C-alpha cells in the first residue's frame, strides 16, 4: 500500500472525484473518550480508462478512507480523508479488507515505532556509520520483543528501569531460550 499525499495534487484530485467505487462503512466505535467512524471506498483500476494512471507499476486499486472523530468531553469534531494505492486486486481485497489492513498498519505503528521513538528515544541517536543504525534498531526490536514475550511488565518504561538496575537479570532474559 502507498499513501497518496498533498504533494501529488493531480493524482489526489483524480482519486477524490470517483463515483464507481465500492464502499464499506465501519460504523461508530467508542473508545479513548471519543467516537470514531471510518468509511472506506475502493476503486478498481484494472479498466482501460486507468491504463498508465500515475505511472505506478502494480497498482490495482485506489482507496479512500474517511475518518470522522467526535471527542465526547470537548464536543469537538474532526474529519480526515486519506487516499492510497494498493497492489491487491478487487478479488483479493474489497473495501472492508483494505480498511482492516490500514488499521493494522497503525497498530504496528503504535506498538513498535512509537515505542522506539519515545520510550527508547531512538530519534536522538546519532549513530550513522555503516550498518550501525540498522543493527541498533534490531537490538531495540529484540529487547522490546523479549519484554513483551515475558509478560512481566505491562509497559516498557518500568521494564527499562528494572533491567537497568539488574544487569544480570537483563542478560539472563536475553540469553535464555524462550518458553511457551
- pLDDT tens readout for residues 5-35: 777 777 777 766 576 788 888 888 888 888 9
- pLDDT tens readout for residues 35-78: 999 999 998 887 777 776 666 667 888 899 999 999 988 889 99
Beta strand pairing call for 22-31 and 61-71: unpaired
Residue whose C-alpha cell reads 550501525 in the numeric block: 132
Q: What is the pTM of this model?
A: 0.61
Question: Cα 125 to chain center, whole Å?
Answer: 23
Quick check: 67 and 36 in contact, CB under 8 A?
A: yes
Grid coordinates belonging to 28: 461508530
Amino acid at each position: 500500500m502507498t499513501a497518496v499525499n498533498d504533494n501529488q495534487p493531480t493524482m489526489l484530485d483524480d482519486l477524490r472525484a470517483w463515483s464507481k467505487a465500492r464502499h464499506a462503512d465501519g460504523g461508530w466505535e467508542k473508545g479513548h473518550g471519543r467516537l470514531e467512524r471510518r468509511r472506506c471506498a475502493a476503486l478498481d483500476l484494472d479498466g482501460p480508462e486507468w491504463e498508465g494512471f500515475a505511472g505506478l507499476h502494480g497498482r490495482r486499486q485506489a482507496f479512500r478512507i474517511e475518518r470522522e472523530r467526535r471527542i465526547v468531553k470537548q464536543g469537538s469534531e474532526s474529519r480526515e480523508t486519506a487516499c492510497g494505492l494498493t497492489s491487491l486486486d478487487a478479488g483479493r481485497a474489497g473495501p472492508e479488507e483494505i480498511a482492516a489492513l490500514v488499521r493494522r498498519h497503525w497498530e504496528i505503528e503504535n506498538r513498535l515505532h512509537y515505542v522506539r521513538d519515545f520510550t527508547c528515544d531512538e530519534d536522538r541517536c546519532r549513530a550513522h556509520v555503516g550498518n550501525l543504525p540498522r543493527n541498533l534498531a534490531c537490538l531495540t526490536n529484540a529487547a522490546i520483543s523479549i519484554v513483551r514475550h515475558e509478560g512481566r511488565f505491562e509497559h516498557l518504561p518500568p521494564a527499562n528501569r528494572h533491567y537497568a538496575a539488574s544487569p544480570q537479570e537483563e542478560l539472563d532474559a536475553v540469553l535464555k531460550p524462550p518458553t511457551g
